[in-house]
Amino acid sequence: MFHKEGFKIITGALLIVIILSVLANIFVEDPTFRGGIIITLIILLLLVLQFFRNPKRFFDLHSEEVLSPVDGKVVVIEEVFEKEYFQDKRLQVSVFMSPINVHITRYPVGGKIVYSKYHPGKYLVAWHPKSSEENERTTVVVNNEVFGDVLYRQIAGALAKRIVNYAEVGDEVVQTADSGFIKFGSRVDVFLPIGTQINVTLNQKVKGGITIIARK
pTM of the model: 0.85
Say if residues 126 and 187 touch (Cβ distance below 8 Å).
Answer: yes
Q: What DSSP string runs through 78-120?
A: EEEEETTTT-EEEEEEEEEE-TTS--EEE-SS-EEEEEEEEE-
Please pick, among 68, 116, 131, 186, the residue that the annotation labels catalytic.
Answer: 186
The hierarchical CATH code for the domain 65-215 is 2.70.70.10
Name residues whose C-beta falls within 8 Å of residue 42's C-beta, 6 or more positions apart in sequence: 17
Tens digit of pLDDT at every position of the chain (216 positions): 876 877 888 899 999 999 999 999 998 989 899 999 999 999 999 888 877 787 888 899 999 999 999 999 999 999 999 999 999 999 999 999 887 888 899 999 999 999 999 998 766 665 555 656 667 889 999 999 999 999 999 998 766 567 899 999 999 999 999 999 987 668 899 999 999 999 999 999 999 999 999 998
- Annotated catalytic residue 94: no
Say if residues 151 and 66 touch (Cβ distance below 8 Å).
Answer: no
CA 176 to chain centre: 13
Task: State residue 183's pLDDT score.
Answer: 76
